[in-house]
Amino acid sequence: MRTYSRRTLGLTNFWRHDPQVLEHIIPPRGGEFPDAAALALLINMVGDGRALEFGCGRGRLARLFDSDLYHGVDISSHAIEAAVETHPDYEFSVIEPYADLPETEIVFGVHVLLHIPDDLIDVMVAKLAACAERVIVCEIMNAEFSDEIFWPPAMNRDVETYDALFEDCGMSQQQSRAVSCDCYKHQKITVAEYG
């Protein structure tokens, strides 16, 4: 049986229960879509399949998808409440942390895996790989940018780390691109697809 550090449990509880989560949804600079260049790549990669957004926050990306093809899930009931209120035509659900995800064609997460601690990232990647044939991860992929002192901590990883984690689940990288966005002066956001 695995045991988890107090920090890992504290972080999961923060995302799950703290209303302050709503202040940490979007990268700090540049309005509602400071990551627009990366999101354009993401939308293109997702295509018109049935998509599950993992860690959807308050659903800011929902409107970029057809409501029949989109389902957003998050462990934060505060975030999901806000998502339901602002996007009544879309489907959103609160999920249990690290539980099985609903089956779909494609699952994607934007600025989510970097918030999953190292002692749970393999569990999380396995859940993503099990629920869909294609997985897309969109976030800064540069371990040097990792900031575990800041709260909530960001466990940024290199794309090679995700490649290895998905390979352990029988998936390989299909494509990846890194783009500059308004939110970070010196960092690019990477969009990587596994299948």
| Contacting residues toward ligand SAM, per CB under 6 A | 15, 21, 24-26, 54-57, 60, 74-76, 79, 97, 110-112, 115-116
Q: Which amino acid type is present at position 162?
A: Y
Per the CB < 8 A criterion, the answer to whether 139 and 110 are in contact is yes
User: Which of 84, 34, 35, 22 has its CA nearest to residue 59?
Assistant: 84
Closest CB 3 distance from ligand SAM, rounded Å: 17
Least spacing, CB of residue 48 vs ligand SAM, in Å: 20
- Least distance CB 125 / ligand SAM (angstroms): 12
Looking at beta carbons, which residue is closest to ligand SAM? 57
Q: Where are the alpha helices (DSSP H) in the chain?
A: 6-17, 36-46, 77-86, 121-131, 159-167
Rank residues 31 and 172 by Cβ distance to ligand SAM and give the closer one: 31
Question: What is the closest distance, in whole angstroms, from the C-beta atom of residue 25 to ligand SAM in the complex?
Answer: 5
Tokens of 183: 């939110």
Question: Do you find a cis peptide bond into 34, omega within 30 degrees of 0?
Answer: no
The pair of three-digit structure tokens given for residue 51, joined into one six-digit string: 């998509």
Rounded Cα distance between 195 and 189, Å, is 20
- Residue in the structure block whose two tokens are 């044939």: 133
Closest distance of CB 71 from ligand SAM, Å: 13
**E strands, 24-151, in order:** 51-54, 70-74, 91-94, 106-110, 134-139
